Amino acid sequence: SAEQHAAGIRYNLARAYESLGDNQRAAELLLADDSPQRHGNRLRAARLIAGSQPSEPGDAEPPEGPDAADSP
């Protein structure tokens, strides 16, 4: 049913708005969620409202400096 997919659809729509730079609309969608993933969505919304970009796994900046090549 549509209710089973609503949380995923809402999250994907919020991410689309975020990609378009509409962080306010993305945060509104994330805050409206009442699914089990709502806690993570609320953290993401708080970061969007605060003006920082939430990071994705693997999005870390590579180390800089002379020893960066030796870092794992």
pLDDT of 34-45, one tens digit each? 999 999 999 999
Tell me what pLDDT residue 31 has.
96
Query: Is 62 inside any structural domain?
Result: no
Tell me what pLDDT residue 27 has.
97
- Model confidence, pTM: 0.67
Range of the domain at 15: 2-52
Query: Is 66 inside any structural domain?
Result: no
Tell me what pLDDT residue 61 has.
53
Query: Is 11 inside any structural domain?
Result: yes
Which residues in the chain show pLDDT less than 70? 1, 52-72
Query: Is 25 inside any structural domain?
Result: yes
Tell me what pLDDT residue 63 has.
56
Tokens for 29? Answer: 């969608």
Query: Is 30 inside any structural domain?
Result: yes
The total domain count for the chain is 1
Query: Is 67 inside any structural domain?
Result: no
Q: How far is CA 61 from the centre of its chain?
A: 17
Burial 18-41 (b: 16+ CB within 10 A, else e): beeeebebbbebbbebeeeeeeeb
Query: Is 35 inside any structural domain?
Result: yes
